[in-house]
Structure formats: C-alpha cells, structure tokens
Amino acid sequence: MPGNTFGELFRVTTAGVSHGPGYLCIVDGCPPGLPVSVEDLLPDLRRRRPGQSKLVSQRDEPDVPEIWSGVFDGVTDGTSIGILFRNEDQRSADYAEIKEKYRPGHADFTFDAKYGLHDYRGGGRSSARETLCRVAAASIAKKLLAKQGVRIVGYVKQVGNVVADIADPAQVTLEQVEANAVRCPDSTAAQKMIALIEQVRKEGDSIGGISELVAVGVPSGWGEPVFDKLKADLAKGLLSLPAVTAFEYGAGFRVATARGSENNDAFIPVLPSPGSVGEGTGVRARRIGTETNRHGGMLGGISSGEPIVCRVAIKPTSSLPKPQRTVTRAGAPTEIVTKGRHDPCLLPRFVVMGEAMMALVLVDHWLKWKAQCGP
C-alpha cells in the first residue's frame, strides 16, 4: 500500500534507485510450472534500454537481470520470484548541480516536500530507470497471457504533430513496431518522427507524443464491476508510469462530440475461428461480438472479447540542456541546466513500458477471474 507494489494476485514490489547499487524486484503470485529464464526477460529489457539510438538517452546499462528465487529447474515454483539488477554506468557527477536546485517538471520538489529530503542523484526513486523492474516482471506476465491467447503490442502513434496512420490496431505486429528506431508501424510517419526528434535534440529541446496499446485475444469476462473496472485499472497502471499525462480507451475523448446513436457498437453474432484460443470464456462469449469497436474492448469495465485499445500521452522530457528558470531548495530564484544523458523523446522507449503495465493489469484480472469465475 505505501506505493511500491502493483497488483493484487500477480503482485510486483520494487526497490532501488538509479544511482545506488541497483534494483530489487519481487514478483509474487505467479502460477507454478511456467518456464522462465533470464533469456525470457532480455528481449523487452533490451527494448527498454537507453543507448539504442540517438533518439534516446545515451546512458549505457547492460540491464541483465539475476533471478535469485521462484524459478527452480527452469520453471516457476509458485514462490516469490526475486529479480536483481545492478547499476553500472552511473556517473553521479553529472547530477551535482541538482542537489541544491529543483529541476522543473521533475519530482525533486515534491519528494522534498513530502519526505523532508530526497535522493537527488539522478532523481533517486523517481527516476524512470525504475521501470526496468516493471518490464522484467511483465515479461513473465506476457508469457502467462500468451498461454491464454492474449498478445499485447504497443507502438508510437504520434510525436509532436506527426500522427501515424494505423488501419487496424489489432493487426499491428511486434515486427512492424521494431522495424524502426521510433517504434512506429507506419514507416512513412516513422521517418518524419525520427526527423522531428533529431531536430528537437539538436535544438537542445524535447518533444512529447502519444502511444497506442493493444491487447488482442482477451476473452470476455475479465475485469471487476464497480470500482476495479478493467478500464480503471488500465488507467491507473498506465498513469503510474513517469511522464504519462493522459489516458483514453476506445473512442476516448472523441465521445464528447458523439451522439449515442453513433457511439454505441452494435452487437453481432460471430463465428469463432477454428482452433482459436482464449476467445471467450463462456458459452455466449464465443458467439457474440460487436460490429465496431468504439468501446475499446470494454463494457461496464469488463472485457467484451473485442481488442482492447487505449492511448496515453507522454510529455516531453523535463530534463533539458537549455537553461530553465527555477528556485533553489532555499527558495531563491535561479537557473538550471540539466546536463545528464536524457532522451529527446521518451516515446520509443515508452512503448515497452506501456505494454508492461497493460500486461501486469491483464494478468492480475485474469487471476481474479480464475479465482471467482474459473472452473
């Protein structure tokens, strides 16, 4: 409850700071018998890593996890999974100035106001480096979900004013996403995004954007009515990521200008594709779908069986090589230049973090469904 744990049945607890010895991650509640190795965790950790291209931070961290427990003879054994990351490329000197000045857009001031002190080295606990624990835990979650027929994919939908044209979010593949450095499946838009980010970087500035996240294959029936609606937990999970300022699913903010007669999705009979997995959990679920998906795969907070589609906005990196106005810890006006190695645009690396939170939310709701409604 004090904020470093996510999930109730598939529960992730983390500790660590960007400029200490490293990070600890404990994953509790994973069903036993799932094959898990360090190799399973590496692909998404690599996608999250800084230093992959000029578009992102140049900090160089191998980010190879150590699994200390919870996996025995190559499979999960039902007990808590202990994962460790060691920090290597820290360069604390880069951050000396921020000891006495609050960085605009960062959590230095609010941590200080809350706790009466803060670890100023690279943001301490508020550093986005903490998300590597989430990504590692989510690799396990994704494996569990894949066995249920659920596939999660995220991508960059917009950077600045460059908007990708995606015909059908449910058809986007990981390969398309990974085909370019900005992780946008529309290759034309991708080139424009890359050019824009490059330009912004040269100007000593940063730029925001929008990421779209999709879960295909979620059967109808996941999500709890009333307070723990699936849409509510997705919103919480995604807003818990650094720099996320907005969330919408399905038609999202566009519902504001819509009429009910045009916003409702008509129910239609559907024929399950032969050999399909996880496409509905009850008799009725297998036979009914919707003609359109303005409801983004959730009705009444419960999955409908249609693809779950949501979007989040990510603000431009707060750390800037440009001078910014701020105050000292003592409250005196001053300027600050944040020298570290920062991403000119967070979007390319965000994609995997967004997928991670979507996976953690879905796996938790799957286990809740199993507990109450499973066989």
Q: How far apart are CA 182 and CA 202, in angstroms?
A: 17
Q: How far is CA 234 from the centre of its chain?
A: 10
Regarding 34 and contact with a second copy (CB under 8 A), the answer is no
How far apart are CB 180 and a second copy at their closest, in Å? 19
Q: Rounded to an integer, what distance in angstroms lies between the CA atom of residue 186 and that of residue 179? A: 10
Q: Are 290 and 267 in contact (CB under 8 A)?
A: yes
Beta-carbon contacts of residue 88 (< 8 Å; ≥ 6 apart): 60, 61, 62
Determine which residue in the list 50, 185, 280, 348 makes contact with a second copy, applying CB under 8 A. Answer: 280
Min CB(14)–a second copy separation in Å: 7
Distance CA 348, CA 363 (A): 24
State the Cα–Cα distance between residues 139 and 126, nearest whole angstrom.
22
Exposure of 364 in the CB half-sphere (CA atoms within 13 A): 25
Please enumerate in sequence order all residues whose Cβ is within 8 A of that of 57, keeping only pairs 6 or more positions apart, or say none.
Answer: 50, 51, 340, 341, 342, 343, 349
Q: Which residue of 143, 151, 349, 368 would you call a contact of a second copy, by CB under 8 A?
A: 368
CB contact at 8 A, 362 and 152 = yes
Is the CB of 11 or the CB of 142 nearer to a second copy? 11
Residue nearer to a second copy on the CB measure, 124 or 185: 124
CB of 314 to a second copy, least distance (A): 7
CA angle, 233 as apex, 214 and 109 as ends, to 5°? 105
**Given 141, 265, 358, 359, the residue binding a second copy (CB under 8 A):** 265
Query: Are 355 and 138 in contact, with CB atoms under 8 Å apart?
Result: yes
The piece of 40-48, 51-59, 119-127, 179-187 that touches a second copy (CB under 8 A) is 119-127
Pairing of strands 244-249, 333-336: unpaired
Q: Provide, rounded to whole angstroms, the least separation between the CB of residue 175 and a second copy.
A: 25
Please, which residue, 191 or 240, has the CB nearer to a second copy?
Answer: 240
Interface residues for a second copy in 138-197 (CB under 8 A)?
A: 158-161
Q: Which of residues 291-330 bind a second copy (CB under 8 A)?
A: 291, 295-296, 298-305, 313-320, 322, 324-327, 329
Amino acid at 255: V
Tell me the site size for a second copy, rule CB under 8 A. Answer: 163
CB count in 10 Å sphere of residue 103: 22
Taking residues 44 to 73 in sequence order and writing x for each that binds a second copy by CB under 8 A, - otherwise, the string is ----------------------x-xxx-xx
- For residues 76 to 105, the per-residue mask of contacts with a second copy, x marking binding by CB under 8 A and - elsewhere, is -xxxxxx-x-----------------x-xx
Measured distance CA(204)–CA(360) in Å, rounded: 35
Residue 93 vs 175, nearer CB to a second copy: 93
Q: Given the rule CB under 8 A, which of 54-62, 171-179, 181-189, 331-339 is the region that contacts a second copy?
A: 331-339
Taking CB under 8 A as the binding criterion, the range among 11-19, 36-44, 47-55, 181-189 that sits at the site for a second copy is: 11-19
Interface with a second copy by CB under 8 A: which range of 49-57, 89-97, 185-193, 200-208? 200-208
Nearer to a second copy (CB atom), residue 173 or residue 264: 264
CB of 220 to a second copy, least distance (A): 4
- Between CA 2 and CA 241 the distance in angstroms is 16
The token pair that represents 129 in the structure block:
């480096």
Query: Of these, 111, 137, 350, 354, which contacts a second copy (CB under 8 A)?
Result: 111
Site for a second copy in 203-262 (CB under 8 A): 205-210, 219-229, 231-240, 242, 244-261
Q: Compute φ and ψ for 176, nearest 5 degrees.
A: -60, -40
Please name the helix (run of DSSP H) or strand (run of DSSP E) that holds residue 210, with its range, or none. strand 209-216
Nearer to a second copy, 249 or 352 (CB): 249
